[in-house]
Amino acid sequence: MPPLTNEEIVQELSKFPRHKLNQAQKNGIASSLSKSQPARRPMGSLFPAMLNFLVVAVLIAGLSTLLINFFSGSDPWHPGTEVYKGKKFSFDPMGVFAVKKLSNEEAEFYQGDKKVGGIEILTEKGMHQNIQQQNVFESANLPGYRYHLHWTLDHQKTMEASQIRHYFFLSEKSKLRYHVYFYTPYVEDLESDAIARTLRIRD
């Protein structure tokens, strides 16, 4: 069969019936097409959503940092409202001061930004060297404590303290001295004695 010419193709197509849509049918098709296309949101409406996302991301990052510091022990500050638990020792500050960890063997006590005492681990020789640098007003081996204790009252009369109460607790296991000290008048005598009695050596 020879191919049809253009005129013959047009004649053949004209034989097919033509269907005309009324206005209601046209409106229905237009409505269906508009529903199938996603509505475009203006850029201004995206800003609150982006802001909320950024706020949530910052909060998550901050919380993650706090949790990492808490579980890893990398945060050196302890508020002092509960028992301080270190690797070498623990004690209860009783809310009198905050504790700043310097190492596993040393920490300092603070009221605000003012140092009011501390704790450190010394050898027996280190204890005697420390005492030699004091202006000793009183010195005694005191009974009635959990650990063998040598206590001194050190008169300083400096800007930091008028007196320093030194507690040198002996570990029977390691033979090391756990030196706990308090500056007066910032930590009162009864407070320092009560806090010193809460010391637990962990060696």
Distance CA 181, CA 66 (A): 30
Alpha helices (H) along the chain: 6-14, 23-36, 43-72, 124-132, 189-196
Residue 161 has pLDDT above 50, yes or no: yes
Q: Which residue do the tokens 């949790």 mark?
A: 67
Domain ranges of the chain: 42-75, 77-201
Task: Provide the b/e sequence for 129-147 (b: ≥16 CB within 10 Å).
Answer: ebeeeeeeeeeeeeeeeee
What number is the average pLDDT over the span 108-135?
97
Query: What CA–CA distance (Å, rounded) separates 60 from 86?
Result: 28
Residue with structure tokens 């930091």?
A: 160
Contact 187, 178 (CB under 8 A): no
For the chain, give the percent of residues with pLDDT over 90.
57
The pTM assigned to this predicted structure is: 0.64
Question: Which single residue is written with the structure tokens 């993650």?
Answer: 64
Classify 90 as helix, strand or coil: strand
How many C-beta atoms surround the C-beta of residue 159 within 10 A?
6
Instruction: For residues 78-96, give the mean pLDDT.
Output: 95
Instruction: Please tell me the predicted confidence (pLDDT) of residue 45.
Output: 60
Instruction: Indicate the SS3 state at residue 111.
Output: strand
| 102, 108 Cβ separation under 8 angstroms | yes
Reported as a single tens digit per residue, the pLDDT across 28-53 is 666 766 666 555 655 556 666 666 66
| pLDDT reading at 61 higher than 80 | no
| CATH class of the region 77-201 | alpha beta
Quote the percentage of the chain above a pLDDT of 70: 65
Tell me if residue 141 falls in helix, strand or coil: strand
